Every structure is written in structure tokens, then in C-alpha cells.
Structure 1
């Protein structure tokens, strides 16, 4: 049997920013590239041709299926793979797709779409979608928007067999920046309203309209369309039915209709017993209704079940790290702090890049007077195998104000190796920020590794400049930076400016330098006031840093109150308040 070839088919318009990475990702996976351009005015066409693509110029007619089908007409491969410019094939998929193309008895393959939301910090949803199918003239896309190929294949070949693969497509098109820049929501709404007029009885269109309303925050309207879609479909025969139910539950929760949400979850669990996402929704609902014990029981059931079966749209970490993190939060609610720490540790073990549970571990041990446990706990339960990982850990500990843990780790740990200058700088900063200015000054005198500006700050605050003239120069520079004077080099206000404020404020507070603390606070407020109209975005950033710094100062004062009495029932209210304070990176 001759080798089976793959044609990549795409439709694009003004995609010069995203297209190169997409086409780069498929090198070695496909045999030809067909790009249908619907009227680009940038360098999209030239870029496509540079990657060897055949470009089909197509007059846009507000119909995505028509544009897709124009690409099918031009393709010559045995298989069709279709992507958008904001998608990338995973490296492993490049190796696997040609192998899948050689299989007999399969009409199409589902690939796992990883949708990245937010702007890099959001979660990941995982959706299995039919993206590769045999190239036959009778198979054509249908639908003006959210075009589909599966219905066409099944209508032509009732016995068609589809296979689920673990090939990953990374999709970045629903990050907030891209959605806003391309006005996707308005475009989708217009096309959906048009297609509903043309095909009013199709529940798939109602579902998609509900998704757009939900994306816009119009929850009540979204709920109506999800309910209409559900009432018009057959759950056992429709691949997207579980998503309609899941989004209906999400809407009911957002509207506070908890009884209705529980009823829908119960219905869903009977229809989709392998859908772990519904257990999460059930646990959240039970906890909101005050049934914390039942919520934790359901989450442990979710851990036992593991991630949702591969045919379901799911969210990364449900059944693993998201579930452990939620268990940690619920344990904190009932003040079972050791259980919470254990749950957060498990969350990090599943996903080491996950920051919220790391911050909560640091915070709990810090507030309960057990910060000295952190180095041993980290060494025993986490794997720190690179300089980069160690650097990240040190930053998190510093952000969490766990300076004694930083000093202990830098002193005791030899592996992985850290450059000596990094160790020295980290030690000085930890000593300075926690108020041990005498030892900070001692180390600073011996250290030449500091960036000049940071060293100026430290020398000024520690009062160790080698001469009166240098002291005055450094102080003048610091005051200019604090007050954002007329020196053009100090403008515009940046995150570094606010970080300098925050570090100096915290260091002065820990060192008991009340005059400096008050002076920096006043200068900070003056800077915010003077710039609120000319640099509103910078002032917003500065305000957020200011609130964080004031929170840190308040927490320091509360820690003194807590330490004045033995740990008993009298200190628990203070501990509870401290654990509820907003903390670094917005995590609490």
C-alpha cells in the first residue's frame, strides 16, 4: 500500500503575527500546505508562500464552511488536517500524525485541543475535536460558523469509525488579548444570529450562542440558550451534549440557583459517569451550601476517578492538581492547616509550575510560627533539580516574606549548584528586607555583585556609603526616584519604581526605622497623586503595590500581637485574620 499523505488546510486573514509559528510547528508532519486567504492586507500571503504553501485567494462571504471547502478543493493529500493560524501542533504530534495516516479502517481522528485562556496566566481547557479526516470529495464542511465535518462524514458513511488520539494542538486564540484585538465576540455573534435565522431548529447553534453570551458575561441570556439547546438535543447521540450541561450548571451557579444546579449535576452524573468535571461542580455547590464535609468527600472521589475520560471537554488538573488545591482550600476553611499543607504539596507534585499552592504552604507555615519547617519540607517532598527551579523557589519564598527560610536554604543546600554571586545577593536582600541591617551591611561591604542602582538603595538605607559626598549623592538619587522629580531618566513610572518603593518600605518597617517608613509612605502617596492623570496605568500598578505593602506591614504588626501570647484559643482570631489577608500575586 502506498504511503498516505497529509494536506494541511487553513483559512486566514491578516495573520502575520501568528501564522509563522503555526506553519513552523507542522514541519515534518504534513506533505502539503493549502492556505485559503480571505483578504489579508498584511504580509500573511507572503509568509505562507515562504513556507511553501499554495495560497487560494477567496472572497469572504461570511461563511467559514465555504472557505474551508475551497481549501479541500485544492488539496491533493489522502488526509486533511485543518488548523487555524493561532494553533500549533505539539512536537510529539509531528511524529505521530504520519503514523496515524497509515492506519486502515478509520475515517477520522480526534485531536486534543488545549485552549489557553487569560494572558498566559489563565487555565487550560482540553477539548477533543475531529481535526484529521480522509480526503474524499463527498466530505464537506457545514455551518456558516463553528463549521463541522463529522455530520457530513456520517451522512455519507453511516459506519464511519473515528479514533481518539492523544495528539495535542495548542490553541492561543481565546487569550484575552487576541479575542479583544480581533473583535471575535462581535464577529461570532453576527454570524450566529444569521445562521440561527437560516437554521432555527439546530441545538448546536443555540449552544454556540450561549457560549458567546457567557464569554461576554451575559449569564442569564447564556443560560436560556444552553437550556434551549439541551431541550432540543439527544444527549446520547450528540458529542457536545456534556458541554451544554456543564455550561448550564456554570450559569446556574453564577446566578446563585444552587438547588437547580444540584439537580442538573445529578442528571449529568447519571448520563456521564466518567466526567470528573461534574464532581468538581458538585463539590463547589455543596461547599457553598455549607456542606463542607460532603464537598471534601466528593473531591476525594474525584481524585480516585482521576481526569475526565478523553472524550469529554475538561479543564487541565481536574482529578489531579486542581482537585488537591481545592481540597487544600476547604481544609483551610475549617482550619485544618496541616491537612491543607499536605493537599497543597500534592497539588505542586502534580504540577511543579503551579504557584498558588506554593504560596499557601509558605503562608500557612509562616503564620503558624513554623517557617523553620519550610527548608526540610521542600527538600523532603519536592524535587529541586535545576538552578532555574531553585531560583524560582527563592523568589517565591522572598515574595512570601519567608526570609529565614531563604537564608537557611542558601546556607545548607549545595545541590543544585547556584552561582556564588546569586547566593551573596540573595542573602543580602533577605537580611535587609527582614530587618537584620547589621549583617546586611557587613555582607554588602564585601560584595561587588550587586547592580549599581540596587546597591545605591542599600548603601543609602544602611548608611554605609564610604564618603559624605557619596552618601549625599546616593540620597539625592534615591529621593529623586522616590519623588519622581524632573530627571527624564527616571520617567516613565515603571514596575521597577514601585518595587523599589515596596522593598524600602518593608525593609524600613522590619528594621524599626519609623521615620524612613513614614517618609517613603508619604513620597509614595505624593507620586501617585501627581501622576494619576498623566500616567493612569502606571498609577494603578503603583496603587496595587501600595496596598500590598500596607498589607505586609499590617501583617507584621499582627504577627507581633500573635507572638505576645502562647498559641491557644486567644491567638486563633489573629491567625485567622492573617491567613485571610491578600498576599503576593493575588493569592490568599
Structure 2
């Protein structure tokens, strides 16, 4: 940055992040002018790593309140703008130029950033208010999933000249939702304790109803989740994104209770909200799955097509499209859909399996068996029981697919027949 450019400060809170902190800092070291890192009680080399990167290191006694810790870190920031990251996040390289341009925009207060949730079992994208002007009135609130949004709303009421924008492309990549990461840091229990404490004092808060309701659903507490999520929908001050999430989680809850009609209603309500299409991906995909199971193939196809339009890298969307096309005996379109899913996710065992079946249906026996053999090889590393079931099923049908090593499967290109597959 030039001397006249606004100064950007990285602001982080950390604890025992020696495995991930350096990778995070590597993604921002060429764009930030200072790094402010608040350690909340590390017992590993996290503080040493922070200092190796030239960070201004401070310490804070943990009090089970993320907002309090983040506000303490803000006290040490000297830049004109603040970028907030966690150690398990990375700044996407393509976002840097957009950030530089945004910081010189007159009256821009907050730039919302799209975050890709690597390993998330449901929605792979979220929206975060992580880049904002260093304004004395901007503070974090809520003990978990700490946000500046509440203070920004209050500030806009008094200073309406400020604007908020959203960067539509992925700016942050988050690795914290992998099962290993969550289990290793006991994030689930810490989140629940913090949110239950908050909601005891703010029982009608739609945002916390959404987050805690989703957490209860993860625990299998379907009825408790539904009660909390329904309560959140009664909040008249809920913004479209929170309303989307409340309906989306209710759709998931009713799906798990096998109440398909209620689930469909809430997925449709979620999709009606005015939020980025990428954020709706989970609702489109889950609604499509319900419609497909009900035999509503045309409507299911529209939902799955919406997922890959919103995110052309969404492998499950192409796989699901392949399933719909296959159900219609439309192998001409099913086969390239499966191939696209495999190209995006080379270890996609189910896509290999269904691609193999599709080629068998088209009379391409050798090609079909090739893909089924590759499916078995992948399943042996992912789901051994399913691999054994598939192998036994093929044996009973009189098929003996070739055997592959997983490494060979991942390295091999998509095989093609001598002539195009025919419809039907």
C-alpha cells in the first residue's frame, strides 16, 4: 500500500492455534499494515508464531465470551480498517484487490464477506461482517458467533451517511467445520454453553434462536430445535439472512422427523428471502432431494440446476442432476453430469458408482465395470461396509469389475467410449 492509502489492521483472538496460525497469517501478510493478535490462554507455540510474523501480541483471560475478547483486541488496533479472521480461516487471494478498492470508497462502513465453509455438511457458504472501518462506535456483541452488526445498526441510525456493501465472491475460506477440528477443540460444547447463557437473558433473539436451534438439531434434539427456531421466526426485527437460516434449519428439522410437507414449506420460505444465491445453496439442494424422493423430477431438476448456477463448483449438485436424469432414462445428460461431479471431486465414490451403472444401461459393459471397480476402490477407504455390499451385489449379478488402487483412481482421467451414449 502507498503512504496515502488507508491502513488495514488484522485483528484476531487465538488459543492453541500453532497448527493453523502461520497458514492464516501467510494469506494476509502482504495486504495488512499491522497484525493485532490477542491470546486467550495458549499453552502451545501460538504466541511465538504470532511474534515471528511481527504481530502485536496481547493477552486476555478467557471469560467464555467471544465478544468481550474481540472487543479487547479492537482496543489495540491503529489502522483505518479492520479485518477480522480466525486462525482456521484463510483470506482468498482474489479478494485482496477488492478489499483495497473498497477501503478508499467514501462513506463505506462495512464490507460483508462471503465465507466458504470447508467440511460443512449442509450450507457451504455464509456471510460475515469481517471488514469494517475502525470506528469507535463499532463493537462486537453476543458471546458466541460474535458480531459487529448490532452496533452497526445503532450507528446507522445516528449517522445515516454510512453505507454497507457485500463482496459477492468468496473472500474467506474456513476450515473449522471439519469433524476433526470441531472435536479437537470442543467447539460444540463451548458454543452451546455461551449461547444458552445469552438466550436465557434474550429469549426472543432471532439470531441466537437460529444458531442454537441448529446446534440442538446437530445433537438430535429435534423437538427442542423446532421450538426454538419457531420462536425466532416471531422476531419482527429479524433480517432476511436470519429469516433464511431459521426456515432452512426448520426444513432440516422437519425432514429428520419425516414431515416432508412442513419441510418443503420452510425450504420454500427460506428461498424467498432476499439473500445471495450462493447462501441459498443448502435449501435448494435439500428441497430438490425431497422433491426427487417424492417423484417430482421436473421440480427437483430445477432446484439442483439452481445449486450449480449459484456455485458451478458444487459437485453434489451435478451428482443430483445426474440422478434425476438417470431416473428419466436420460443417460445422454446423466453421464456428463456425473463426470462433472467427479472432475470437481475426484474421490466421489457414489458418482463413480452411478456413472458405472449408467454406462451399463447404455450397453457399455467394459466402461461400466471400470467405473464400478473404481467406486469399490474408493468406498474401501470411505465406507468399507458399502464397498462390501457393492462388491457382493455385482458378484450376484455375474459381474467381476477390475480392481484399482485409490491412487490410480484419483490420477486417472475420465474414460470415454468410442461413440456417444444414446438417449434411453
TM-score category, normalised to shorter length: 0.7 to 0.9
Q: Per-residue displacement from partner, 1:96-119 (whole Å, max 9, x unpaired)?
A: 42332222221011111111126x
Give the conservation status (yes or no) of the 8 Å contact 1:90–1:167.
yes
- What is the deviation of 1:243? 1.2
Radius of gyration: which is bigger?
Answer: 1
Give 1 or 2: higher helix fraction.
1
- Cα distance in 1 for partners of 2:109, 2:99 equals 14
Match of 1:230 in 2: 233
- What is the deviation of 1:352? 6.2
Q: CA 1:40 to 1:278, structure 2 compared with 1: closer, same or farther past 3 Å?
A: closer
SS in 2 for 1:33: strand
**TM-score with structure 1 setting the length:** 0.60
- What is the deviation of 1:95? 4.1
Counterparts of 1:445-456 in structure 2, within 5 Å, are none
Give the conservation status (yes or no) of the 8 Å contact 2:8–2:82.
yes
Match of 2:405 in 1: none
Picking from 114, 117, 138, the partner of 1:115 is: 117
Match of 1:130 in 2: 129
User: Which has the bigger relative contact order, CA under 8 A and spacing at least 6?
Assistant: 2
- What is the deviation of 1:35? 0.5
Give the conservation status (yes or no) of the 8 Å contact 1:282–1:295.
no
- What is the deviation of 1:287? 2.8
* Aligned length, in residue pairs: 392
SS in 1 for 2:127: strand
Match of 1:70 in 2: 72
- What is the deviation of 1:167? 4.5
Give the conservation status (yes or no) of the 8 Å contact 1:276–1:307.
no
Picking from 319, 331, 347, the partner of 2:325 is: 331
Q: CA 1:545 to 1:325, structure 2 compared with 1: closer, same or farther past 3 Å?
A: closer
- What is the deviation of 1:298? 4.2
- Cα distance in 2 for partners of 1:550, 1:146 equals 42
Q: CA RMSD in A?
A: 3.4
- What is the deviation of 1:244? 1.1
Q: Per-residue displacement from partner, 1:341-379 (whole Å, max 9, x unpaired)?
A: 243245456x364734344223331465414568xxxxx
Picking from 332, 341, 356, the partner of 1:362 is: 356
- Cα distance in 2 for partners of 1:301, 1:41 equals 48
SS in 1 for 2:128: strand
Structure 1: stretches of 5+ with no match in the other structure: 309-315, 375-393, 403-494, 500-540, 562-583
- Cα distance in 2 for partners of 1:91, 1:70 equals 28
**TM-score with structure 2 setting the length:** 0.81
Match of 2:181 in 1: 178
SS in 2 for 1:111: strand
Match of 1:285 in 2: 290
- Cα distance in 2 for partners of 1:400, 1:268 equals 35
Picking from 24, 43, 46, the partner of 1:44 is: 46
Give the conservation status (yes or no) of the 8 Å contact 2:16–2:45.
yes
- Of residues 47-56 and 216-225 in structure 1, the stretch that sits farther from structure 2 once superposed is 216-225
Structure 2: stretches of 5+ with no match in the other structure: 401-408, 411-424
- Cα distance in 1 for partners of 2:336, 2:102 equals 42
- Cα distance in 2 for partners of 1:205, 1:549 equals 44
Q: CA 1:215 to 1:105, structure 2 compared with 1: closer, same or farther past 3 Å?
A: same
- What is the deviation of 1:253? 1.0
SS in 1 for 2:32: coil
Give the conservation status (yes or no) of the 8 Å contact 1:13–1:39.
yes
SS in 1 for 2:112: strand
